[in-house]
Copies of this chain bind each other. A is one copy, B any other.
């Protein structure tokens, strides 16, 4: 292995002890994508990356065996009584497989890889699959949403009865919203991720994937997100693709339905699914799919805070933006100090919409004078949609309708993103 700092020799799989200025670490050398970073797996199961510049010395404790993993041959026969599910991977950690000799994580993109990693899938459906891209979800852009929608359409036209999209968790809820607006399909499309990579004993990857495949064989239509329902391994939740949100940076049960309860509990070990509320059932027609991937990307999201400089709004106006989503406070408020900037944006022809940084609850801009004034300026109150959904919805609407139509459609339910009244039992 390349070792530019002359800090000692080592290879992937070796057990080493290394010293930095302040600390000493012991662990197994892991593959690293960054040649300047040495990654070791420590006894507690965590991987740690250390800049080679900071390593003073390395001592080899035990020489590792070279990786022994060889891909076994696998013969997957299609069974007539099972549905055909297509798993499309976009990146993230959910679809990966560990070589237990080295601890190295291999991306498991093809159907065979997935089945080797999670053989239980074979019992649930006829699995096929292919990689669409290999992108950490923090790098997903609106253009990737379009690619995913188009590839889903191809799979459905080739006979898939259900789709599973493996996706990094960081922005999975943005992608879920985008696909919900872009796709009109008569099958389930299920996004799934993992909070802990497959090389950790606490990984949620396998159970999330099994639950997602179970959901994709259900007689439901539309876009969904499947993730762990609690911190144990008993069940996953089936959420709508819209109005779901990553609400914790690391917990397995990070995803929460917002302003509604989840649709169902999925028990991956028994294969059972327990519906908690109504869901869109498939219709008695072919696996029709229509997509509309037009998006206006000149839309921004601005979070309001005390002392915010209103000129940031002028910046977007002057840079030819078409829409602004304000993540306001409380029931949908913004400081009076930026009213003149909001007026400038609206007078310049931009749409300005309001969602709330409280995340939970509904915007109501009739209660206080601040909200009424903002409405007078032309700010559009966006009901009970989380700010992230309003952002994606505005991108979609401005890509397809003229501004006066968008103004109306923003406050109407078009894909399940607005509920007329919020259940009392959906706030944690």
| Contact surface of A with B, Cβ cutoff 8 Å | 33-34, 37, 47-49, 51, 136-142, 144-145, 168-171, 174-175, 231, 246-251, 253-254, 297, 300-309, 311-312, 315, 319, 327-337, 356-364, 366-370, 372, 376, 388, 391, 395, 424, 427-428
Contacts and interface: CB of A to CB of B under 8 A. Distances in A.
B306 A249 contact: no
Contacts of A253: 427
Contacts of A37: 372
A75 B22 CA distance: 67
Contacts of A327: 303
Given A312-B312, A333-B170, A136 B246 contact: no
A379 to B, nearest CB: 13
Contacts of A376: 51
B360 A249 contact: yes
A197 to B, nearest CB: 8
B301 A301 contact: no
* Most interface-central of A33, A319, A329, A361 (chain B CB within 10 A): A329
Contacts of A300: 308-309, 312
Given A312-B315, A315-B312, A366-B48, A360 B248 contact: yes
B391 A361 contact: no
Contacts of A174: 305-306
4 A-B pairs with least C-beta separation = A428-B428, A249-B361, A138-B333, A170-B329
B307 A141 contact: yes
B362 A136 contact: no
A171 B329 contact: yes
A137 B330 CA distance: 10
Given A170-B330, A248-B360, A249-B360, A369 B138 contact: no
Contacts of A144: 306
29 contacts: A34-B372, A47-B367, A48-B366, A51-B376, A137-B329, A138-B335, A139-B335, A139-B370, A141-B306, A142-B307, A170-B329, A171-B305, A171-B306, A174-B305, A231-B424, A247-B358, A247-B360, A249-B330, A249-B331, A249-B358, A249-B362, A251-B360, A251-B427, A254-B358, A254-B361, A300-B312, A301-B303, A303-B327, A311-B319
Contacts of A137: 329-330
Nearest to A331: B249
Contacts of A249: 330-332, 356, 358, 360-364
